[in-house]
């Protein structure tokens, strides 16, 4: 029986192919199996390192993405147990970081097979360094929730966090996400939007959250985007939620709208705030409240 192979988790370029390391190129040339999030972009990368052609005819290039992750993980474990060298790559960046890969890596570790990580380019770190914001302590959030309410809840919980925040976002949602960040963290909080990182039109747009939100509210930026936001002071005053809800209800807002206002600045779950607002409104009105 052959000795188990090794799973190589390979960081790949996020735009500029020249960023692929010599070690990563060698591993891709030597791999028996390449599991790729996108086989089309993988072929471009393999061609770049001369890993295609007659001398590599025995290599298997297979797809590995969110939809087939469970089945493919078991297949990769079997290949490794038969002695194959397997390279796992995402479309760009590091597998497992806002990309498929975590399930395969966990399955391989569980099977007792060696995992070797080949570091590579990172959009999060490139954007952080390019932002000019503090990098001593940072918090990577990946992609925030698509739904605005859930997104605001998340940002509200981070209002006082002193860490610099890093998140990925799709271009068509950048404006809405910046609006929610400004509402939760304050329009004056410093931020930077990095786009097309390592590519020809790389750009870092820096400014207060309110300013960036206004800039991209109606015009989406082009290309892949990474947002970097200055951390808080860690010493914001505690909000008296019940008093604030009473104040908002007194202005004529209904329980739902009053609760939504506080979601943004407290990060508390909407259902909890709504139930409290509903109770206070009934107490004030002495009857049922919609």
In this prediction, residue 236 has a pLDDT band, given cuts at 50, 70 and 90, of low
According to the model, what pLDDT value does residue 260 have? 80
* CB distance 85 to 51 below 8 Å: no
pLDDT at 116 > cutoff 50: yes
Contacts with 238 (C-beta within 8 Å, 6 or more apart), sequence order: none
According to the model, what pLDDT value does residue 24 have? 97
Superfamily, domain 124-229: Tetrapyrrole methylase, C-terminal domain (3.30.950.10)
Q: What percent of the chain has pLDDT over 90?
A: 70
**Rounded Cα distance, 201 and 120, in Å:** 21
**H-assigned helices in the chain:** 22-30, 39-48, 69-81, 102-110, 123-131, 148-157, 174-185, 209-216, 241-250, 255-266, 270-285
Which residue in 80, 82, 227 sits closest to 155, CA to CA?
A: 227
Considering only 150-159, 208-217, 235-244, which range has the smallest mean pLDDT?
235-244
Specify the CATH architecture of the domain 6-121: 3-Layer(aba) Sandwich (3.40)
Mean pLDDT of all residues in 264-268: 75
Domain boundary assignment for the chain: 6-121, 124-229, 241-285
pLDDT at 254 > cutoff 90: no
According to the model, what pLDDT value does residue 289 have? 56
pLDDT at 237 > cutoff 70: no
Straight-line distance from the first to the last Cα atom of the chain, in angstroms, rounded to the nearest whole number: 70
Question: How would you label 42-72 residue by residue, b for 16+ Cβ within 10 Å and e otherwise?
Answer: beebbeebebbeeebeebebbebbeeebeeb
Classify the phi-psi angles of 202: left when phi > 0, otherwise alpha if psi is within -120 to 50, otherwise beta.
beta
Cα-based angle 152, 153, 154 (whole degrees, multiple of 5): 90
According to the model, what pLDDT value does residue 268 have? 79
DSSP state of 145: P
pLDDT at 287 > cutoff 60: no
Mean pLDDT of all residues in 250-262: 84
Q: What is the pLDDT of residues 32-69, one digit of tens each?
A: 999 999 999 999 999 999 887 666 667 899 999 989 99
Q: What is the pLDDT of residues 16-35, one digit of tens each?
A: 999 999 999 999 999 999 99
């Amino acid at each position: 029986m052959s000795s188990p192979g090794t799973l190589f988790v390979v960081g790949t370029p996020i735009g500029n192919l020249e960023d692929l390391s010599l070690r990563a190129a060698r591993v891709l040339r030597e791999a028996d199996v390449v599991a790729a999030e996108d086989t089309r972009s993988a072929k471009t990368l393999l061609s770049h390192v001369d890993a295609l052609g007659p001398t590599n005819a025995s290599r298997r290039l297979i797809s590995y993405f969110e939809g087939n992750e469970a089945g493919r993980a078991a297949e990769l474990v079997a290949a490794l147990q038969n002695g194959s060298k397997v390279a796992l790559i995402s479309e760009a960046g590091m597998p497992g970081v806002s990309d498929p890969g975590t399930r395969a890596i966990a399955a391989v570790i569980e099977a007792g097979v060696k995992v070797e990580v080949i570091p590579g380019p990172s959009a999060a770190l490139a954007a952080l360094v390019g932002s000019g914001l503090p990098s001593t302590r940072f918090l990577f959030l990946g992609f925030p929730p698509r739904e605005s309410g859930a997104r605001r809840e998340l940002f509200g919980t981070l209002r006082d966090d002193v860490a610099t925040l890093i998140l990925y976002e799709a271009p068509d949602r950048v404006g809405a996400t910046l609006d929610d960040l400004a509402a939760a963290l304050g329009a004056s909080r410093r931020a930077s939007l990095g786009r097309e990182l390592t590519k020809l039109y790389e750009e870092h747009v820096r400014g207060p959250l309110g300013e960036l939100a206004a800039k991209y509210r109606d015009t989406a930026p082009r290309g892949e985007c990474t947002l970097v936001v200055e951390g808080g002071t860690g010493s914001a005053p505690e909000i008296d939620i019940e008093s604030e809800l009473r104040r908002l209800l007194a202005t004529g807002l209904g329980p739902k709208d009053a609760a939504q206002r506080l979601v943004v600045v407290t990060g508390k779950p909407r259902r909890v705030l709504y139930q409290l607002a509903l109770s206070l409104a009934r107490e004030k009105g002495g009857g049922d409240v919609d």
